[in-house]
Amino acid sequence: MLRTIEVSGVRFRVADEGSGPVILLVHGFPLDHTMWSSQIEEFSKTNRVIAPDLRGFGGTDGALYSVSMEQYADDLVALLEALHADKPITFCGLSMGGYVGWQFALRHPKWLGRLILCDTRSVADSAEAASNRLKMAEIVTKEGPEPIAWTMMPKLFAPTTSERRPELTEQIRRTVLATNPIAIAAAHRGMAVRPDVSSFLPTLHVPTLVIVGEYDVISPPAEMKAFSDAMPNARFAVISNAGHMAPIENPSEVNQVIHEFLGR
């Protein structure tokens, strides 16, 4: 069921399907919950799957000038409370959704039973990357989402996905182009100042699954393996024939490793 629910003055659009232990699916930048359609279909057979559009994205309003990863994480807890979700939950985030996942784990540990981090990073931006984000935030605010689509699209997919599955790349391009430029700018400003969580990794004892597409050039396998190894209770999985958008590019393999992680 796709529903709209008002929480602290923000109208969230959220897919809420199935029943059982909650899996929260948190999308990447600059996308919305529809990137998780294969996982919503699969896991709603056994779980309550909650997949929101983050503040300002998709069908959710409330975009601000800048939104921190901490703010998105706090929004999600307010949303879970409003949806009367049972804790603890499994948090699954992709890329920016993973940055939010770190803050969710650090700020709201009582909510967290398991953590799934797909195609994401533990380090902060370099000074150059942060400065580029701030410039892009200004450009997108003036010109709309097209410049972000041009810069991001070539980096998101494995070569085989781009060649053989043009409908997938087109689906993502359409989502990016439909995204509110204010939300894109706000998230870019928030990601530019996101903290480096490397020093917290040894303290995160929650069972964790780290997933990366073998051809991910934004959060490459070697970098993700290194942060997975720094966590005391993490397992690491490389997804074949996939890049940064592994859950869309190879959903059967991603779903399989998630099933195994959940003990099925």
Number of residues that bind ligand MLT (CB under 6 A): 6
Pick 96 or 254: Cβ nearer ligand MLT: 96
As measured in angstroms, the least distance from the Cβ of 141 to ligand MLT is: 17
The structure tokens listed for 218 are 């934004």
What are the C-alpha distances in Å from 31 to residues 34, 149, 171, 204, 227?
8, 11, 10, 27, 25
Pick 19 or 131: Cβ nearer ligand MLT: 131
Please select the residue that binds ligand MLT; options are 95, 103, 180, 228, rule is CB under 6 A. 95
Pick 47 or 180: Cβ nearer ligand MLT: 180
What are the C-alpha distances in Å from 182 to residues 22, 66, 171, 185?
30, 9, 21, 5
Q: Which of residues 156-175 bind ligand MLT (CB under 6 A)?
A: none
Pick 21 or 28: Cβ nearer ligand MLT: 28
Quick check: 34 binds ligand MLT (CB under 6 A)? no
Phi/psi at 73 (5° precision): -65, -45
**Residues 201-220 vs ligand MLT: string with x where CB under 6 A?**
-----------------x--
Q: Quote the DSSP letter at residue 33.
A: G
Please select the residue that binds ligand MLT; options are 29, 72, 104, 111, rule is CB under 6 A. 29
Which one, of 4, 2, 27, 47, lies nearest residue 187 by Cα?
A: 27
As measured in angstroms, the least distance from the Cβ of 6 to ligand MLT is: 26
Q: CB 47: neighbour CB atoms within 10 A?
A: 18
Q: Quote the DSSP letter at residue 113.
A: E
Quick check: 246 binds ligand MLT (CB under 6 A)? no
As measured in angstroms, the least distance from the Cβ of 119 to ligand MLT is: 7
Pick 218 or 226: Cβ nearer ligand MLT: 218
Q: What are the b/e assignments for 159-198, b being 16+ CB within 10 Å?
A: eebbeebeebbeebbebbeebbbebbbbbbbbbbebbebe
Residues near ligand MLT, by CB under 6 A = 28-29, 95-96, 191, 218
